[in-house]
Amino acid sequence: MKIGVLALQGDFAEHVAMLRSIGVEPVEVRLPEHLEGIGGLCLPGGESTAQRRLIDRWGLRQPLLDFAATGAPLFGTCAGMIVMATDIAGGEEPVLPLLDVTVRRNAFGRQLESFEADLTVPILGDQPLHGVFIRAPIVERVGSGVDVLATLDDGRIVAVRERNIIATAFHPELAREPRFHRLVATMAAEHQEPAEGSARRRHPTRREGLRR
Amino acid sequence: MSAETSTWTTKKGLAQMLKGGVIMDVVTAEHAKIAEDAGAVAVMALERVPADIRAAGGVARMSDPEMIQGIMDAVSIPVMAKARIGHFVEAQILEALGVDYIDESEVLTPADETNHIDKHAFKVPFVCGCRNLGEALRRINEGAAMIRTKGEAGTGNIVEAVRQLRAVLAEIRRLESMREDELFVAAKDLQAPYELVKEVAVEGKLPVVNFVAGGISTPADAALVMQLGAEGVFVGSGIFKSEDPARMATAIVQATTHFDDPKILADVSHGLGSPMRGIALEQIPDAERLAVRGW
């Protein structure tokens, strides 16, 4: 299983290390041709303004949208969430409008407001998750197809999923927290090789049976 | 759930978010916008770029808070600002302003000839310069959450940056090859705490992000230090002392991302106009060298 990491700018090396630690082969994606043969993609933290320019300069925008349209999982952390949002508060143009949410950049303020906090993420089990928030964004609005995966105590939304797109305002890759990456790897495996029970393909043995 | 601000993870973490990027020196809000539009990951707000500080002589100090505030208001990317080595009150003022990172910088005239700032005492993270591994580890021990090799600022000459980056990385490789019982003496020789020396020997890298500064003035310079192992670059005079700053800034950003792709490097190096003129290191008297500041 290969999973790509958008390696234009930011903490992509931390995503690469996390994928390797869970037994997935990471692929650094800098140009459209690097999307070939990967089952999913992580969009790292970093500066979304810089990433936007690097995505546009070498024509990655459409190939990334096409990749998402195949149903392969995409997982964005912090800047990666901003890059995938359909709406950015304050009127910036979206980069890859894949996730029907409105995000606000630097929603907590400047670096002095960066923080760590434990979160509950029900789909990842009972064990709380340690969230590292660095000049983090927040989700201000979610569309009807978007599931909220985690909120802060005050109710502000910090993790979401819409079909094959997952995004967090925090950085699991900085907290030795592998559960999101495992989830992405599982979704990628299911996308590439739908298993028994999948609605997208009949079970191979049953298909064999029907042919006879 | 209790939230904790200004932890070591968040301090170090912001530098991790800047990796693979270019931090640009800017002296006005207009420069800062040009830098942000070109794809800078952060800007360093200061009154004069190092080349002008060098030319002007005299005492170089922290910039006017009004000018720093103007830049903070103008851009959405992180804003860094410089304090003099050892001048913890300038650092207190910068923290009160709310800058995102403080550079305790040899480019300004040192305020203390023995001590650096106790950076653990601050909520805002610090980046510090180094010429070698021992200096890097001393700064980290004092609380620096990001390191940059110093190069020789304001010269447009990459030679010092290359020398220092190679020195740091060679010393790391040397530690990696040592037996555990040899690390005690290595720590003594490096004049650095044993715990940090051991950590570097085990991990094979600095415990914080390591950028290169001082002398980068073309896309090829940026790609050179990235190929050598830098995690990102600071560009000071190299952008706004070049003929076409917006274009040079964009090209250096692209080269820092695609540092390993000569075709793209050739593409972005086309038609940039002249880079800053630059100075041969031999022409700089020892007393005017900035890299030797820091203890």
B14 touches chain A (CB under 8 A): yes
Task: Tell me which residue of B245, B249, B276 sits closest to B52, measured CA to CA.
Answer: B276
Which residue among B82, B119, B150, B241 is the active-site one? B82
Model confidence at A151: pLDDT above 60:
yes
**Chain A residues within 8 A of B257 when measuring between CB atoms:** 8-9, 30, 54
Rounded mean pLDDT, A1-20: 98
Helices B159-176 + B219-228 axis angle, to 10: 10
Interface contact flag, A45 B16, Cβ < 8 Å: yes
- Catalytic: B82? yes
Q: Indicate if the alpha-carbon torsion angle A10, A14, A19, A20 is positive or negative.
A: positive
Interface contact flag, B16 A175, Cβ < 8 Å: no
Query: Which tokens go with B179?
Result: 């037996």
Per residue in A22-54, pLDDT tens? 999 999 999 999 999 999 999 999 999 999 999
Q: What percent of chain A has pLDDT over 90?
A: 89
Model confidence at B216: pLDDT above 80:
yes
pLDDT at A206: 47
Distance from CA of A119 to the nearest CA of B (A): 7
pLDDT at B282: 87
Cα–Cα separations (whole angstroms), residue B123 to A58, B101, B118, B138? 39, 10, 11, 19
Q: Say what the pTM is.
A: 0.95
**Chain A residues within 8 A of B13 when measuring between CB atoms:** 11, 114, 132, 134, 171, 174
A45 touches chain B (CB under 8 A): yes
**Chain B residues within 8 A of A110 when measuring between CB atoms:** 72, 78, 98-100
**B291 φψ region: left (φ > 0), alpha (ψ -120 to 50), beta (else):** alpha
Residue A129 pairs with which residues in a beta bridge? Answer: A119
pLDDT at A210: 46
CA angle B67-B131-B111, nearest 5°? 45
Q: A204 versus A91: which is more confidently predicted?
A: A91
CB atoms within 10 A of CB B40: 31
The contacts of residue A188 (CB under 8 Å, 6+ apart) are: A1, A3, A39, A40, A72, A73
Contact status, residue B156 vs residue B130, Cβ threshold 8 Å: no
C-alpha to C-alpha distance for B289 and B278, rounded to whole angstroms:
14
Contact status, residue A22 vs residue A185, Cβ threshold 8 Å: yes
Which residue among A50, A112, A135 sits closest to B40, beta carbon to beta carbon? Answer: A50
- Catalytic: A171? yes
pLDDT at A144: 96
pLDDT at A211: 44
Cα–Cα separations (whole angstroms), residue A139 to A104, A113, A143, A159, B262? 7, 17, 11, 8, 40
Per residue in A160-197, pLDDT tens? 999 999 999 999 999 999 999 999 999 999 998 887 66
Rounded mean pLDDT, B79-92: 98
C-alpha to C-alpha distance for B271 and B228, rounded to whole angstroms:
26
Model confidence at B22: pLDDT above 90:
yes
C-alpha to C-alpha distance for B62 and B94, rounded to whole angstroms:
9
CB atoms within 10 A of CB A212: 4
**Chain B residues within 8 A of A134 when measuring between CB atoms:** 10, 13-14, 17
Q: For testing the chain B interface, which of A134, A151, A174, A176 should be mutated: the one with the most B CBs within 10 Å?
A: A134
pLDDT at B277: 85
Model confidence at A111: pLDDT above 60:
yes
- Across B25-36, b (16+ Cβ under 10 Å) vs e yields bbbebebbbbbb
Model confidence at A2: pLDDT above 60:
yes
Number of Cα atoms under 13 Å in the Cβ half of residue B240:
27
Task: Tell me which residue of B234, B210, B202 sits closest to B139, measured CA to CA.
Answer: B210
**Chain A residues within 8 A of B9 when measuring between CB atoms:** 116, 132, 174-175
**Chain A residues within 8 A of B222 when measuring between CB atoms:** none
Distance from CA of A142 to the nearest CA of B (A): 24
The number of angstroms, rounded, from the C-alpha of A152 to the middle of its chain's C-alpha atoms is 19
Which residue among A46, A57, A135 sits closest to B254, beta carbon to beta carbon? Answer: A57
The contacts of residue A122 (CB under 8 Å, 6+ apart) are: A149
Q: What percent of chain B has pLDDT over 90?
A: 88
Which chain A residue lies closest to B268 (C-alpha atoms)? A57
* ipTM of the shown complex: 0.95
pLDDT at A205: 52
Interface contact flag, B14 A111, Cβ < 8 Å: yes
Query: Which tokens go with A58?
Result: 């070498």
Per residue in B133-183, pLDDT tens? 999 999 999 999 999 999 999 999 999 999 999 999 999 999 999 999 999
